[in-house]
Structure 1
Amino acid sequence: MAEVRISAEPRNAFGKGAARQLRRDGKVPAVLYGHKEEPIHLALPEHDLFMALKHPNVLLNLDLGDRHQLALPKAVQKDPVRRTLEHVDLLLVRRGEKVTVEVPVVTTGEIAPGGLLEHTLNALSVEAEATHIPNSIEVSIEGLEVGVQVLAKEIALPRGVTLSTDPEHVVVHVMAAPTAAEMAGETGESEAGEGAGRAAEPESSEEG
């Protein structure tokens, strides 16, 4: 996993106006909480934070000047239009401590011809040490045939990582790919339906 050192400074001004001013200054409002300690309100450099968040489950080493704190991003708010960072919730963690996180699932290999792979789960919930969270979990689909499915319990996890997701949950499964005739039939039914809909429309009449 990635560990990124990032500068952080305490913030004492709150409210929408103060948050807007921070963003104009190139900083992002954040709050650090956990271990039953009082939440710490922080300001983080927007560019550095944006780059750090490109790594799944990135571990942030917060440089507070007189001390360092380790944190995991738990909730990231973005502007829905500009996609800029608006606010970040950070979970305080310690080295050696175990946390439950969502880790992306990555498939390797190719399924057998004639099948269509469906991802039921794109991530697995696992428990791992805060400083040893895997970037992703690999699932081999090499040679899987139609009707075969892979359950969460069947996936090999890295050492020290335990499964939190329901073991019986289907992660991926292989469906039969539609034939050319089936696809043509669906297209024909769709066009026929549209034509019937148009035929059913009443003709407009002109008065006078």
Structure 2
Amino acid sequence: MKSIKIEGQVRTDFGKSATRALRSEGMIPCVIYGGTETVSFSAPAASFRHLVYTPDFQLAEISVNGKTYRCIMKDLQFDVITDALAHIDFLELVEDKTVVANLPLKYTGQPEGVKAGGRLELKMKSVRVRTLPKYLKEYLEVNINDLKLNENMRVQDIVAENMEIMNSPRIPIASVVMTRALKQQENADAKEGKKK
């Protein structure tokens, strides 16, 4: 699984003015929690680019004061006016503690319904899972080969070993809908059938 390395510096000053000063230097204030200790640190905004602005699920290996923490991103805050990254919360991965994470869905295959003239509609890009850190993956693969025209694939159809999917099982994740051209063709065929 991909991971991004981040070098951070321990934060000693807190409060609005200290945080504002950090941001003016191009640093992002962050916190790591969930392990034996809570670590407040800051790191250059550029070091988060490949972690924040991507649909991929990745681990963050954060080094602070010579110690490395394996983490996942839990929460992001952006400035309401400038939309610049303002703060990140990280959850430290502890081997025997379950974590909740959003894993992307990777759709594979060519649906039967599309071959029959339908249009594929992807309704979900990720699902929320609860699992142990060792079972985390970059994505969950969903094979949509058997999806027929006017059918849905639901959360309950996702194969996710060693993890609990927390989304409602009946929510559709993908469907093949009839295109306007196909409907018109079916209507024309039905009219032809009546004439005979």
Pairwise same-fold verdict (TM > 0.5)? yes
Question: CA–CA distance in 2 between the matches of 1:176 and 1:67?
Answer: 56
What is the match of residue 9 of structure 1? Answer: 9
Structural mapping, 1:12-161, within 5 Å? 12-35=12-35, 39-53=38-52, 54=54, 56-79=56-79, 83-110=83-110, 111-142=114-145, 144-157=147-160, 159-161=161-163
Percent identity of paired positions between Structure 1 and Structure 2: 23
Deviation of 1:38 after TM superposition, in Å, equals: 5.8
Structure 1 residues 181, 3: CA separation in 2 closer, same or farther (over 3 Å shift)? closer
Question: CA–CA distance in 1 between the matches of 2:134 and 2:82?
Answer: 32
Question: CA–CA distance in 2 between the matches of 1:143 and 1:132?
Answer: 27
Structure 1 residues 180, 26: CA separation in 2 closer, same or farther (over 3 Å shift)? same
Normalising by the residue count of structure 2, what TM-score does the alignment of the two structures yield? 0.77
Kept after mapping to 2: 8 A contact 1:104/1:136: yes
Among candidates 172, 175, 186, match of residue 174 of structure 2: 172
Match of 2:115, SS state, is coil
Match of 1:95, SS state, is coil
Matched letter for residue 160 of structure 1: N
Kept after mapping to 2: 8 A contact 1:61/1:70: yes
Deviation of 1:81 after TM superposition, in Å, equals: 6.3
Deviation of 1:88 after TM superposition, in Å, equals: 0.6
Structure 1 residues 2, 80: CA separation in 2 closer, same or farther (over 3 Å shift)? farther
Structural RMSD (CA): 2.6
1:20-77 C-alpha deviation (Å, 9 max, x unpaired): 3212322101122225x66432112211122233363322222122422222111112
Matched letter for residue 16 of structure 1: K
Structure of greater Rg: 1
Would you identify which runs of 4 or more consecutive aligned residues in structure 1 move more than 4 Å?
80-83
Which segment drifts farther, 2-11 or 55-64? 55-64
- Unpaired stretches in structure 2, ≥5 consecutive residues: 185-196
- Unpaired stretches in structure 1, ≥5 consecutive residues: 183-208
